């Protein structure tokens, strides 16, 4: 006979249970012998019939017998804990769950069941512990981790969701959805910089997937890459003009026979013009809010509005820049262009 206290349906010393086949219960990753598999099937059917007849005690015994063979059998554990919880045997349900978790289960489903049960019976600390263990599982399906993180977020614990996702990402660094959810978590907890990094990782892992697009959209809309100050920066626009004039400098240097002393005034003038022309062209094409042109050529007058160069002014600046660059090209390459003209008979 089993030692079952009157207020419990679960044998307290399961290894003495007569239905036990193996000495040490197996986990979901250990293969079953054909005899064990057959017995589990029979016990599960038996439990079903018992539940159909509303015989909870017999059903629980059958499920417990299954769990004696495989300590974290998901179906048996799910049904047993649910039936026990519904029958107000919450401590018994928790005992079965603890056995599975302490017995070395690596089944993510079991961990989820554990979290659910722990929360139902108000064991919040244990629920969090199980979540963190779930996140560290090497084979855990990231979908399940996401589900756990979502539960936490929805229940008003975004910090814990972040912790969970951070832990899971050490195991699944290539999972785009986890990175995106981590970005969401950071944003909720007001860590904008970390959110940007997380969204960035997500977008980088695949810009064309749904998660990639969402991460990119979050980056663009909610965490601007270029701040207002940088949009208005003269230096950032000037940087591109320097690139243009560098091109002209190297051209002029070659035209002067690779000798700076032979560059002459006109070539240096051409390089100077290329800097100005390049700046105007950059302002027209990519720096519409940069100052001081933004202020000079803006229609806006209200305070707080960011002055932007009007489209007409940009076209005019672009044309002027283009013309200046052509003049500069003529000035830095006098020999090359005259040789080309001779060759083509122009």
Partner 1 sequence: MAIILLAILFTILELLLSSLFYPMPFRDSRGEMRYRTFPWMTWTIIILNILVFMLWLVPDMVAARSSVLRSKVFLYGYREAELHQSQSIGALMTFTAIFMHGSFAHLFGNMLYLRVFGFRVEDACGPWRFLAYYLLAGMVSNVFDVLLNPIEAQANFAGIGASGAISGVMGAYLILFYGERITCLWGVGSLLRFIAVIPIRLFTRRRPAWWHWRLQIPSVLLLFPFLIMETVPSISIIESGYESNIGHLAHVMGFLAGFTIFLFIRKDMLMRYLQGRAL
Which positions lie near partner 1, rule CB under 8 A?
193, 196-197, 200-201, 203-209, 212, 225-227, 230, 236, 239-240, 242-244, 246-247, 250-251, 253-255, 257-258, 286-287, 333, 335-337, 339-340, 343
Rank residues 98 and 137 by Cβ distance to partner 1 and give the closer one.
Answer: 137
Q: Least separation, in Å, of the C-beta of 7 and partner 1?
A: 42
Give the whole-angstrom CA distance, residue 109 versus residue 102: 15
Rank residues 102 and 193 by Cβ distance to partner 1 and give the closer one.
Answer: 193
Rank residues 84 and 324 by Cβ distance to partner 1 and give the closer one.
Answer: 324
Q: Least separation, in Å, of the C-beta of 261 and partner 1?
A: 14
Beta bridge partners of 309: 298
Rank residues 25 and 287 by Cβ distance to partner 1 and give the closer one.
Answer: 287
Q: Least separation, in Å, of the C-beta of 29 and partner 1?
A: 9
Place of tokens 């050490």: 170
Place of tokens 């195991």: 171
3-state class (DSSP) for residue 3: coil
Q: Least separation, in Å, of the C-beta of 323 and partner 1?
A: 17
DSSP alpha helix (H) spans, the chain: 34-52, 56-69, 74-86, 90-102, 108-120, 124-136, 142-154, 158-171, 176-188, 192-204, 210-222, 228-231, 234-255, 264-285, 293-296, 311-332, 334-344
Rank residues 47 and 244 by Cβ distance to partner 1 and give the closer one.
Answer: 244
Place of tokens 């990231």: 142
Q: Least separation, in Å, of the C-beta of 189 and partner 1?
A: 19
């Amino acid at each position: 006979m089993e030692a079952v206290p009157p207020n419990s349906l679960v044998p307290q010393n399961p290894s003495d249970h007569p239905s036990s086949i193996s000495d040490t219960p197996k986990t979901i990753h250990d293969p079953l012998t054909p005899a064990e598999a057959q017995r589990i099937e029979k016990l599960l059917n038996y439990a079903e019939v018992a539940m159909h007849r509303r015989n909870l005690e017999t059903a629980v015994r059958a499920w417990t017998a299954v769990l004696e063979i495989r300590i974290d059998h998901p179906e048996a554990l799910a049904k047993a804990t649910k039936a026990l919880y519904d029958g107000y045997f919450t401590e018994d349900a928790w005992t079965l769950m603890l056995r599975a978790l302490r017995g070395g289960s690596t089944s993510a489903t079991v961990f989820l069941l554990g979290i659910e049960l722990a929360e139902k019976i108000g064991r919040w600390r244990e629920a969090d512990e199980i979540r963190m263990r779930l996140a560290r599982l090497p084979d855990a399906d990231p979908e399940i981790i996401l589900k756990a993180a979502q539960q936490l977020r929805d229940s008003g614990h975004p910090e814990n969701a972040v912790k969970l996702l951070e832990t899971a990402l050490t195991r699944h660094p290539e999972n785009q959805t986890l990175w995106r959810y981590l970005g969401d978590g950071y944003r909720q907890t007001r860590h904008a910089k970390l959110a940007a990094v997380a969204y960035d990782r997500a977008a980088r892992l695949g810009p064309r997937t749904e998660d990639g697009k969402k991460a990119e959209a979050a980056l663009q809309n909610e965490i601007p890459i270029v701040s207002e100050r940088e949009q208005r920066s003269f230096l950032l626009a000037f940087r591109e003009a320097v690139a243009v004039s560098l091109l002209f400098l190297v051209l002029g240097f070659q035209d002067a026979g690779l000798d700076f002393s032979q560059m002459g005034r006109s070539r240096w003038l051409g390089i100077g013009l290329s800097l100005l022309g390049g700046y105007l062209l950059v302002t027209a094409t990519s720096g519409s809010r940069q100052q001081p042109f933004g202020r000079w050529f803006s229609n806006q007058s209200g305070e707080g509005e960011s002055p932007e160069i009007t489209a007409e002014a940009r076209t005019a600046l672009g044309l002027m820049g283009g013309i200046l660059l052509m003049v500069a090209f003529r000035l830095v390459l006098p020999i090359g262009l005259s040789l080309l003209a001779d060759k083509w008979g122009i």
